[in-house]
Amino acid sequence: MTTAIQIEVRPTELDSMGHVNNAKFLEYMEWSREDWYNKAKLPYDTFTALGLGTVVVNLNINYRREARLGQHLTVSTEPIRKGRTSFALRHVIVNANDELVADANVVSVTIDLKSRKASPLPNALAKMFG
Protein backbone atom coordinates (compact mmCIF):
# COMPACT_ATOMS: atom_id res chain seq x y z
CA MET A 1 0.00 0.00 0.00
CA THR A 2 1.35 3.39 -1.02
CA THR A 3 0.03 6.53 0.65
CA ALA A 4 0.67 10.22 0.03
CA ILE A 5 0.23 13.52 1.82
CA GLN A 6 0.33 17.07 0.49
CA ILE A 7 2.51 19.79 2.01
CA GLU A 8 2.80 23.49 1.30
CA VAL A 9 6.22 24.92 2.17
CA ARG A 10 5.88 27.50 4.98
CA PRO A 11 8.24 30.40 5.86
CA THR A 12 9.35 28.74 9.11
CA GLU A 13 10.65 25.72 7.16
CA LEU A 14 13.26 27.70 5.22
CA ASP A 15 16.93 28.09 6.04
CA SER A 16 19.27 31.03 5.34
CA MET A 17 19.58 29.86 1.71
CA GLY A 18 15.84 30.46 1.17
CA HIS A 19 14.97 26.83 0.59
CA VAL A 20 13.59 24.09 2.83
CA ASN A 21 16.03 23.21 5.60
CA ASN A 22 17.36 19.65 5.27
CA ALA A 23 15.93 18.63 8.67
CA LYS A 24 12.41 19.62 7.55
CA PHE A 25 12.49 16.94 4.86
CA LEU A 26 12.88 14.36 7.64
CA GLU A 27 9.86 15.86 9.37
CA TYR A 28 7.81 15.73 6.15
CA MET A 29 8.72 12.06 5.84
CA GLU A 30 7.76 11.42 9.45
CA TRP A 31 4.32 12.97 8.83
CA SER A 32 3.90 10.77 5.78
CA ARG A 33 5.03 7.69 7.71
CA GLU A 34 2.45 8.43 10.41
CA ASP A 35 -0.22 8.77 7.71
CA TRP A 36 0.86 5.39 6.26
CA TYR A 37 0.53 3.72 9.69
CA ASN A 38 -2.93 5.22 10.16
CA LYS A 39 -4.17 4.20 6.71
CA ALA A 40 -2.76 0.71 7.30
CA LYS A 41 -4.92 0.62 10.45
CA LEU A 42 -1.78 0.52 12.57
CA PRO A 43 -1.98 3.74 14.58
CA TYR A 44 0.22 4.33 17.60
CA ASP A 45 -2.42 2.98 20.01
CA THR A 46 -2.52 -0.36 18.17
CA PHE A 47 1.18 -0.90 18.79
CA THR A 48 1.08 0.21 22.42
CA ALA A 49 -1.88 -2.11 23.10
CA LEU A 50 0.42 -4.93 21.97
CA GLY A 51 3.21 -3.63 24.21
CA LEU A 52 5.20 -2.66 21.12
CA GLY A 53 6.72 0.41 19.57
CA THR A 54 8.73 1.21 16.47
CA VAL A 55 12.02 3.08 16.34
CA VAL A 56 13.94 4.38 13.35
CA VAL A 57 17.39 2.80 13.27
CA ASN A 58 18.65 3.89 9.85
CA LEU A 59 17.71 6.63 7.44
CA ASN A 60 19.38 7.28 4.10
CA ILE A 61 18.13 10.41 2.35
CA ASN A 62 18.97 11.88 -1.03
CA TYR A 63 18.35 15.59 -1.57
CA ARG A 64 17.69 15.96 -5.30
CA ARG A 65 16.21 19.44 -5.83
CA GLU A 66 15.54 22.42 -3.60
CA ALA A 67 12.03 23.24 -2.44
CA ARG A 68 11.05 26.86 -1.90
CA LEU A 69 8.44 28.95 -0.14
CA GLY A 70 4.87 28.26 -1.23
CA GLN A 71 5.68 25.16 -3.27
CA HIS A 72 3.30 22.26 -3.00
CA LEU A 73 4.99 18.93 -2.33
CA THR A 74 3.66 15.39 -2.34
CA VAL A 75 5.27 12.97 0.09
CA SER A 76 4.57 9.30 -0.61
CA THR A 77 5.33 6.30 1.57
CA GLU A 78 5.43 2.63 0.62
CA PRO A 79 6.68 -0.56 2.27
CA ILE A 80 9.74 -2.05 0.59
CA ARG A 81 11.04 -4.88 2.79
CA LYS A 82 10.62 -6.66 6.08
CA GLY A 83 12.78 -8.79 8.27
CA ARG A 84 12.04 -10.61 11.49
CA THR A 85 12.14 -7.49 13.70
CA SER A 86 12.86 -4.74 11.17
CA PHE A 87 11.14 -3.21 8.17
CA ALA A 88 11.87 -0.51 5.62
CA LEU A 89 9.64 2.16 4.16
CA ARG A 90 10.46 4.26 1.12
CA HIS A 91 9.61 7.96 1.00
CA VAL A 92 9.54 10.02 -2.18
CA ILE A 93 8.97 13.78 -2.26
CA VAL A 94 8.00 15.43 -5.55
CA ASN A 95 7.01 19.00 -6.39
CA ALA A 96 3.94 20.16 -8.34
CA ASN A 97 5.84 19.57 -11.61
CA ASP A 98 6.40 15.94 -10.56
CA GLU A 99 10.14 16.60 -10.19
CA LEU A 100 11.94 14.51 -7.60
CA VAL A 101 12.89 16.68 -4.61
CA ALA A 102 14.08 14.02 -2.14
CA ASP A 103 13.85 10.30 -1.50
CA ALA A 104 14.80 8.07 1.40
CA ASN A 105 14.69 4.55 2.74
CA VAL A 106 13.89 4.40 6.44
CA VAL A 107 14.57 1.24 8.44
CA SER A 108 12.67 0.77 11.70
CA VAL A 109 12.72 -1.93 14.34
CA THR A 110 9.79 -3.13 16.38
CA ILE A 111 10.63 -3.13 20.08
CA ASP A 112 9.02 -4.50 23.22
CA LEU A 113 8.16 -1.41 25.27
CA LYS A 114 9.08 -3.01 28.60
CA SER A 115 12.36 -4.69 27.74
CA ARG A 116 13.31 -2.06 25.09
CA LYS A 117 14.62 -4.95 22.97
CA ALA A 118 13.83 -5.88 19.37
CA SER A 119 10.64 -7.87 18.98
CA PRO A 120 9.20 -9.77 16.00
CA LEU A 121 6.93 -7.76 13.71
CA PRO A 122 3.28 -8.12 14.64
CA ASN A 123 1.25 -9.95 11.97
CA ALA A 124 -0.79 -6.85 11.12
CA LEU A 125 2.40 -5.01 10.17
CA ALA A 126 4.10 -7.96 8.45
CA LYS A 127 1.12 -8.47 6.11
CA MET A 128 1.53 -4.90 4.77
CA PHE A 129 4.65 -6.13 2.96
CA GLY A 130 2.81 -8.70 0.87
Catalytic residues: 15
Phi, psi (rounded to 5 degrees) for 39: -70, -25
Cα(66)–Cα(21) distance, rounded to whole angstroms?
A: 9
Cα(27)–Cα(31) distance, rounded to whole angstroms?
A: 6
Q: Cβ contacts of residue 9 below 8 Å, gap of 6+?
A: 20, 67, 68, 69, 70, 71, 72, 73
Cα(71)–Cα(93) distance, rounded to whole angstroms?
A: 12
| Strand pairing class (72-82; 3-8) | antiparallel
